[in-house]
Amino acid sequence: EVQLVESGGGLVKPGGSLRLSCAASGFTFSTYNINWVRQAPGKGLEWVSSISGTSNYIYYADSVKGRFTISRDNAKNSLYLQMNSLRVEDTALYYCARSEGWGPGWFDPWGQGTRVTVSS
């Protein structure tokens, strides 16, 4: 069964840092692009970042560029999101999701999410 499991969320003060992880299983991790998507409380979905299978291609939303860093360890079947200079508006449920299909593709499946709260 294809599965993604996020971890690492928590409560952090504005300006602080946090590192999220996403553990993958059930598929050949290194051959897939993986994404981070977040959802603020009561709000919609926002794409955050994407990384190609070999880490050659990395993309960020403007809202996190320069503050967040996506990375992966294919030997550990794991994806990471290093979040620095956190802001209150970064408070959200963070999902990892696998890219599928042709062109930019779609996201399937999604993990269950890990919650990040930025508050003083």
Smallest gap from Cβ 102 to other proteins, in A, equals 7
- Give the Å distances, CA to CA, from 104 to 27, 39, 54, 59: 20, 21, 16, 12
Q: Which is nearer to other proteins, 75 or 102 (CB)?
A: 102
Mask 27-56, x = binds other proteins (CB under 8 A)? --------x-x------xxxx--x------
Please tell me the total number of residues recorded for the chain in this structure.
120
* Closest of 86, 38, 92, 35 to residue 58, by C-alpha: 35
Q: Per rule CB under 8 A, is residue 109 in the interface with other proteins?
A: yes
Q: Which is nearer to other proteins, 4 or 118 (CB)?
A: 4
Q: Per rule CB under 8 A, is residue 112 in the interface with other proteins?
A: yes
- DSSP output for 3-36: EEEEE--EEE-TT--EEEEEEEESS-GGGS-EEE
Q: Per rule CB under 8 A, is residue 94 in the interface with other proteins?
A: no
Q: Which is nearer to other proteins, 16 or 61 (CB)?
A: 61
List residues near other proteins by CB under 8 A.
35, 37, 44-47, 50, 59-62, 95, 97, 100-104, 106-113
